[in-house]
Amino acid sequence: MARKPWVDQDECISCGICMKNCPEVFRFNPQRKSEVYNPDGASEEDIQTKAIDLCPVSCISWTE
C-alpha cells in the first residue's frame, strides 16, 4: 500500500504553501485549514519536496 499525505489540521496555520505548490493534492476546507483531497494527484517526491518539506509548522506527514 502506498503512503498518503495527511494534514494535522490542529497545527495548520493556513499559509497555503502546500496548495500553491501541489494544488492537485491540497485545498482549504471550510475552516480554512489545508486538507488532502486527492492523495494521488502528485508524485510522492513532489509532495515531499514541495509541501511536506516546506510546511513552516511541519503539519503534513505520511500515513499508510
- Listing DSSP states for 21-60 in one string gives H-TTTEEE-TTS-EEES-TTSS-HHHHIIIIITT-TT--E
- Which pLDDT band holds residue 2 (cuts at 50, 70, 90)? confident
Residue 10 cell numbers, joined: 490542529
- Which pLDDT band holds residue 1 (cuts at 50, 70, 90)? low
Residue 19 cell numbers, joined: 496548495
Of 40, 37, 17, the C-alpha closest to 27 is 37
pTM: 0.93
Residue type, 50: K
pLDDT single digits (tens) 5-60: 999 999 999 999 999 999 999 999 999 999 999 999 999 999 999 999 999 999 99
CATH number of 4-63: 3.30.70.20
